[in-house]
Amino acid sequence: MTKKYILGLFRDEVPLLHAVQELRKEGNSIHEVYTPFPVHGLDDALGYKRSRLPRAAFLFGCLGGTLGLSMQAWMLGVDWPMNIGGKPALAWVDFVPVTFELTVLITALGMVATYLVVSDFIPGNDPKMPDPRITSDVFCIAISAEGASASVGSRLRQLGAEVQEKEVEL
């Protein structure tokens, strides 16, 4: 569904960051900011909370470690114990390498899958972005036109932006 947005386009991240701080200080609500590369401090300026992906990663790690260790213990210790020179079947030290590898594998796959799903990054998805130059050299502040103060366009211009109004899906 498309909506009307006021877009402030910048060519450099320093005025962009400044503009975001100023606009938020003046009580404007910013829909989203688009940049060609990660701009240091932008998420703080926008008041974004820290990503919860590390927590997802931790949970997947616990799952992988538990699965890995219990799989080996069950297979060699319970389901089919083998007598190898009278050594114990449940030789847990031997299970460390595979447990470690499975922990890493399941953490990585689980976290990346979570990342793709929560970000709506699915192969073939249309990019919901206001301007195609964003992936090269344009930095863009998108403010929803609905409910925005009348002066926000001129304020953006004052802060060094090139201002556009666009009907897009973001």
* Measured distance CA(120)–CA(127) in Å, rounded: 10
Q: Which residues contact 47 (CB under 8 A, 6 or more apart)?
A: 24
Region 48-107 residues binding another protein, contact defined as CB under 8 A: 48, 50-51, 53-54, 57, 71-72, 75-76, 79-80, 82, 84, 91, 94-95, 97-98, 100-102, 104-105, 107
Q: How many residues does the chain have?
A: 170
Q: Least distance in Å: CB of 137 to another protein?
A: 4
Q: Least distance in Å: CB of 30 to another protein?
A: 9
Note whether 28 binds another protein by CB under 8 A: no
Q: Least distance in Å: CB of 141 to another protein?
A: 10
Encoded amino acid at 156, one letter: L
* Measured distance CA(85)–CA(82) in Å, rounded: 9
Backbone phi, psi, residue 87, to 5°: -80, 155
* Measured distance CA(83)–CA(79) in Å, rounded: 13
Burial of 24 (0-12, 13-18, 19+ CB in 10 A): middle
Region 140-169 residues binding another protein, contact defined as CB under 8 A: none
Cβ proximity to another protein, 135 vs 158, nearer residue: 135
Cβ proximity to another protein, 97 vs 154, nearer residue: 97
Pairing of strands 162-168, 32-34: unpaired
Q: Can you give the binding site for another protein, defined by CB under 8 A?
A: 11, 13, 32-40, 42-43, 46, 48, 50-51, 53-54, 57, 71-72, 75-76, 79-80, 82, 84, 91, 94-95, 97-98, 100-102, 104-105, 107-109, 111-112, 115-116, 118-129, 132-137
